[in-house]
Amino acid sequence: MLAKDIREMTETDINARIAELERERFNLRIASGTRTLDDPLRLRVIRRDVARLKTVLREKIIGIAEAQEGQPPRVRARHVTGRRGRKAATAINRAKRSKRA
């Protein structure tokens, strides 16, 4: 289930889908205790779908989607990889801390 599809749903539809998935998850957890499941990864998929549904529901409640439409995209920080990059980043941080003290 994609987030864009969830955003098109109403709050009551989202709540109904959450309840349905929680019921299915409960049944699968009970069944996994007594026998092996045909699709054990279904538990993970359900858990992630519920989290995605709850996130979009929370966005709708507090109105995040409308507020973010006019904002420019955020700039990501540079990801330091490799031994030399980490050493340089650590040295820079050490120098910044010594200047503050």
- Domains of the chain, first to last: 1-71 (1.10.287.310)
Between the alpha carbon of residue 78 and those of residues 25, 81, 92, 95, the distances in Å are 39, 9, 14, 19
Phi/psi region, residue 81 (left: phi>0; alpha: psi -120 to 50; beta: rest), is: beta
Instruction: Convert the pLDDT of each residue in 45-88 to its tens digit.
Output: 999 999 999 999 999 888 876 656 666 666 666 666 666 656 66
| Number of other CB atoms surrounding residue 26 within 10 Å | 11
Q: What is the pLDDT of residue 53?
A: 96
What are the φ/ψ torsions at residue 81 (nearest 5 degrees)?
Answer: -125, 160
More confident residue, 60 or 97: 60
Separation of alpha carbons 43 and 34, rounded Å: 15
pTM of the model: 0.62
pLDDT band, very low/low/confident/very high, at 18 (cuts 50, 70, 90) = very high
How high is the mean pLDDT of the chain? 82
